[in-house]
């Protein structure tokens, strides 16, 4: 749990926040000593009228750091020989504004121009943050202690609350990418948080389905009913405790996919009770260990928190963590080829009930 929260500014003006589990030393005693260029202007949002979606164009991200050697990792604590993004010589959990953000509040005058009368353009106003789970470069989320996982949940609650209140933000999305197979460019254990200036396509589809369900059932919550059905069926349940259930969705898109949901209807991470936050860690760590045990090697994955949006239809949301991997066998990956990439129509190679069984038997 968080005992101390300290916010500082890096030399280019970006915010960095230390979240300490014990009353640590004065973090302001470790200033950023680097000479950095000003942060880039925010991305452009370009509207695609064919599918009613906004696409972010962030050209500055093309130059972001790519798989540096471990002694030049920007997410490790700073040393006398290398000044990283984190000035202190050690830390518990740290959050900072991304140096190469997909969204920010830095709007450059004259940067946004109209393209055609069919494609509106607007600034990608929002925020993108990096969350470092540990100062140990060689660790992983699955190797964290339950106490550290609880700290991370408290940090995500803190950031969700603050980022949801930013002007123009419609959705806050914490996530972790793990493994070079996924496309990770920094191997240090970390996640990210996006504060979107729009509702993402996946969430729009989920809200539309939830709205239809509520209208046809007298106001019932769609995800709550799906969770209850999975709990009753039992066959796809991978693990559970008094506060959370982990299951493979019946229509899973990915070879190995698990959703972890609170048994109580919760809108977002800040709304979790202390007991629910405590109970999350043992179950999630168990599922991560099962993922790694499936093929006796680290499993590449994406862990995506789905939370209620900040505005209209917020009541339709139901907090859950979607954990999935593109690995379908020890030596095979699932690539998003023609049907998935071009048409958005997924074809899964693994029967969800079989995936659940394999995960149950993995340890």
Q: What CATH number is attached to the domain comprising 190?
A: 3.30.428.10
Domain edge (last residue) among 150, 180, 198: 198
- In this prediction, residues 353-358 reach a mean pLDDT of 98
Residues 115 and 47 placed together within one structural domain of the fold: yes
Domain edge (last residue) among 132, 167, 198: 198
Asked whether the beta carbons of 171 and 312 are under 8 A apart, the reply is: no
How high is the pLDDT of residue 64?
A: 85
How high is the pLDDT of residue 276?
A: 98
pLDDT tens-digit profile of 141-152? 999 999 999 999
Q: Rounded CA gap, 149 and 135, in Å? A: 14
Residue 159 token pair:
């950031």
Domain edge (last residue) among 167, 198, 229: 198
Q: Rounded CA gap, 237 and 245, in Å? A: 7
- In this prediction, residues 292-304 reach a mean pLDDT of 98
Residues 328 and 179 placed together within one structural domain of the fold: no
Instruction: Answer whether residue 203 shows pLDDT above 80.
Output: yes
**73 marked as part of a ligand binding site:** yes
Residue 200 token pair:
């993402």
Number of domains comprising the chain = 2
Asked whether the beta carbons of 128 and 103 are under 8 A apart, the reply is: yes
Asked whether the beta carbons of 11 and 32 are under 8 A apart, the reply is: yes
pLDDT higher for 63 or 252? Answer: 252
Residues 176 and 264 placed together within one structural domain of the fold: no
Q: Collect all residues with Cβ–Cβ distance below 8 Å to 45 and sequence separation of at least 6.
A: 54, 55, 56, 57, 121, 122, 123, 124, 197, 198
This model's pTM is above 0.95:
yes
Asked whether the beta carbons of 87 and 96 are under 8 A apart, the reply is: no
Counting every residue written for the chain, the total comes to 363
How high is the pLDDT of residue 110?
A: 73
How high is the pLDDT of residue 109?
A: 78
- In this prediction, residues 144-167 reach a mean pLDDT of 98
Instruction: Answer whether residue 192 shows pLDDT above 80.
Output: yes
Q: Rounded CA gap, 222 and 229, in Å? A: 11
Residues 175 and 234 placed together within one structural domain of the fold: no
How high is the pLDDT of residue 114?
A: 73
Instruction: Answer whether residue 65 shows pLDDT above 90.
Output: no
Residues 210 and 183 placed together within one structural domain of the fold: no
- In this prediction, residues 333-349 reach a mean pLDDT of 95
DSSP string over 240-300: E-SSEEEE--TT-SSSEEEEEEESS---SGGG--HHHHHHHHHHHHHHHHHHHHHTTSPPP
Residues 110 and 166 placed together within one structural domain of the fold: yes
Residues 217 and 296 placed together within one structural domain of the fold: yes
List, in sequence order, every residue forming a beta bridge with 45; answer none if it has no partner.
56, 122
Residues 210 and 174 placed together within one structural domain of the fold: no
Domain assignment of residue 181, given as a range: 4-198
The yes-or-no answer on residue 213 being catalytic is no
Residues 260 and 341 placed together within one structural domain of the fold: yes
Q: Rounded CA gap, 272 and 232, in Å? A: 24
Q: Rounded CA gap, 355 and 238, in Å? A: 9
- In this prediction, residues 56-78 reach a mean pLDDT of 92
Instruction: Answer whether residue 55 shows pLDDT above 90.
Output: yes
**76 marked as part of a ligand binding site:** yes
Contacts 24+ apart (CB under 8 A), 279-282: 279/241, 279/242, 279/243, 279/244, 280/149, 280/150, 280/153, 280/243, 280/244, 281/146, 281/147, 281/149, 281/150, 281/153, 282/146, 282/241
Residue 320 token pair:
């859950």
**132 marked as part of a ligand binding site:** no
Of the candidates 60, 190, 243, 315, the residue annotated as catalytic is 190
How high is the pLDDT of residue 1?
A: 84
Residues 182 and 229 placed together within one structural domain of the fold: no
- In this prediction, residues 29-49 reach a mean pLDDT of 95
Residues 280 and 237 placed together within one structural domain of the fold: yes
Residues 317 and 174 placed together within one structural domain of the fold: no
């Amino acid at each position: 749990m968080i005992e101390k929260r300290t916010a500082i500014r890096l030399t280019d003006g970006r915010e960095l926040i230390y979240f300490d589990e014990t009353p640590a030393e004065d973090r302001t005693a470790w200033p950023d000593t680097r000479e950095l260029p000003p942060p880039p202007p925010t991305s452009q949002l370009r509207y695609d009228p064919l599918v009613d979606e906004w696409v972010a164009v962030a050209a500055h991200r093309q130059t972001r750091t790519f798989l540096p050697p471990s002694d030049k990792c920007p997410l490790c604590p700073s040393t006398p020989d290398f000044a990283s993004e984190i000035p202190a010589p050690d830390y518990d959990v740290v959050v900072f504004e991304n140096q190469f953000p997909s969204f920010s509040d830095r709007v450059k005058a004259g940067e946004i121009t109209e393209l055609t009368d069919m494609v509106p353009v607007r600034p990608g106003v929002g925020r993108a943050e990096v969350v470092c789970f540990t100062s140990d470069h060689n660790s992983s989320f699955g190797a964290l202690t339950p106490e550290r996982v609880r700290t991370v949940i408290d940090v995500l609650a803190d950031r969700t609350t603050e980022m949801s209140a930013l002007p123009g933000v419609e959705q806050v999305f914490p996530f972790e990418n793990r493994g070079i197979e996924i496309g990770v460019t920094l191997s240090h254990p970390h996640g990210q948080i996006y504060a979107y200036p729009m509702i993402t396509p996946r969430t729009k589809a989920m809200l539309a389905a939830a709205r239809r369900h509520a209208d046809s059932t007298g106001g019932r919550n769609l995800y709550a009913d799906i969770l209850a059905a999975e709990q009753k069926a039992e066959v796809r349940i991978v693990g559970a405790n008094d506060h959370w259930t982990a299951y493979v969705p019946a229509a899973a898109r990915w070879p190995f996919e698990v959703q972890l949901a609170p048994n109580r209807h919760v809108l977002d991470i800040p709304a979790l009770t202390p007991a629910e936050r405590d109970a999350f860690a043992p179950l999630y760590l168990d599922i991560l260990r099962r993922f790694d045990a499936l093929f006796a090697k680290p499993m590449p994955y994406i862990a995506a928190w789905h939370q209620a949006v900040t505005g209209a239809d917020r009541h339709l949301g139901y907090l859950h963590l979607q954990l999935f991997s593109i690995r379908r066998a020890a030596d095979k990956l699932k690539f998003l080829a023609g049907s998935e990439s071009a048409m958005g129509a997924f074809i899964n190679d693994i029967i969800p009930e079989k995936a659940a069984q394999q995960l149950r038997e993995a340890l």
